Structure 1
């Protein structure tokens, strides 16, 4: 029955600024009115809704105001430089400063590489790719560089 996630939504304080930000990430506007825009993440498969509202002041929590975009392994390796070229700063996450990212999340038995940054309203944005699914030993969180060095 369920084939995937079609949409997710975030609150924003200035719709125009937020549209510009997400277009820098490669998203395309699919629909827009005065206080709402939908941007294609993958045309016909998934989109992101941006709602201009004062609710953007709701304090951040991972269950609120967070979205993760799936990327390929080769892309996650270049993500920090790609973001910086667009003027987007990688933020410290889980105690790992920007220069130590991407990092590897130990969601045993899964492992994912991820990098974190904020949109203009402080919504948490993540680029993530699976490294392994449903197998492997438990491990501590580490940088992606450490992950590949460990595998040698």
Structure 2
């Protein structure tokens, strides 16, 4: 049923700075109002609401301050460099150094993901389903390492 993300909302301290950040990663302004802006993730289908707030440094919890954007498998492989070209650092995730995408062995499908933050510390993720035989995969691994692993 679910085909993508309909909407997500994040608190931001400086709305103008945050709009520039999200435009730099490919989102487009859909609507602006006093203290809030909606940006298209997929035009006409899903958007991100940014709400300007004085206090954005509240305790972090992924259910409140995390957005995952679906990307294509070929794009996840170049995501670290793409983000670096925009001055955005990839973040450590699940104990993995920020060297590249990791494979999440979710069943029944595996996913590759890479994590980064917006200017207010909201955790963002590029994620895509991947077609890999993960039947023998019991823990997370770097995507590059998994792709170069000898197949039995």
TM-score (norm 1): 0.90
| Equivalent residue number for residue 45 of structure 2 | 45
* Number of equivalenced pairs: 150
Distance 1:141 1:32 in 2: 40
| Equivalent residue number for residue 25 of structure 1 | 25
Give the 3-state SS of the residue equivalent to 1:120 in structure 2.
Answer: coil
Distance 2:139 2:105 in 1: 6
| Equivalent residue number for residue 116 of structure 1 | 115
| Equivalent residue number for residue 149 of structure 1 | 148
User: Which sections of structure 2, spanning at least 5 residues, go unmatched?
Assistant: none
Distance 1:151 1:26 in 2: 36
| Equivalent residue number for residue 9 of structure 1 | 9
How far did residue 54 of structure 1 move? 3.1
TM-score (norm 2): 0.90
Q: Which piece of structure 1 moves more, 77-86 or 135-144?
A: 135-144
Q: Would you say the 8 A contact 1:11–1:51 is kept in 2?
A: yes
How far did residue 34 of structure 1 move? 2.5
Q: Would you say the 8 A contact 1:109–1:136 is kept in 2?
A: no
* Deviations, residues 103-130 of structure 1 (Å, cap 9, x unaligned): 1112223210000001000000000000
Give the 3-state SS of the residue equivalent to 1:54 in structure 2.
Answer: coil
Identify, as 1 or 2, the structure richer in helix. Answer: 1
